[in-house]
Amino acid sequence: MWWLAVPVAIGVAAYIIDELTDEAGAERDRWESKRKEVEHDLEWHKENIKRHLDEAKNTYDFHQLVNMHYSSVKVADEAYKLLTDARVTLKAIGKAIGAAKKERDVLKEKRKKSKSKKEREEFTKEIESLINLRKQLFSQKEEIEEQKSEFYIRVKSLNAQTRELKCLIRDTTGYKGEEWYECLEQRKMSRY
């Protein structure tokens, strides 16, 4: 199971893992499988925009720049969808951590009240399984939060360069650029 490698996920711990998988399994899979690809696209677009901005600021081909802008916007949109997947995943992990704590506390109370040695040993095993589960979930949550934070910084950087590119198109490609810019701004305003 991709969430974690709990050596002995029994009882409530196994149930919590199943709930976590049901709640955010697809989002976590998408986050893991697409993040590197989109990071690569973010970097490529960032470098490509930078190169074009630096090379010939006043002699750009209008269509090439508009295509570059459109492509950058599409990559940023995909990146924001992945960030949503990361948030869903983090929320589900948080819920699983809380559920594991709650169940651990319930089992500790049951173990205290139990008169049977065998039953206390079973409670202890399940409590240990929940403790291991929580440790692994906290570790995964921290890792995803760090990845998400770094990814967000890259997306914001691309967006800043895309805004710069949009203004460059307006300012350096004559009437076509000004008209294109105005159409973009009108579409943006109509969404609000």
Retrieve residue 183's tokens. 């159409």
pLDDT at 2 over 60: no
pLDDT on residue 11: 78
Q: How many helices (H) and strands (E) does the chain have?
A: 4, 0
pLDDT, tens digit, 9 for 90 and up, residues 22-48 = 788 888 888 888 888 888 888 898 888
Rounded Cα distance between 167 and 65, Å, is: 11
- Whether pTM exceeds 0.85: no
Q: Smallest Cα–Cα separation from 89: which of 187, 181, 2, 189?
A: 2
- What's the whole-number mean pLDDT along residues 171-186? 91
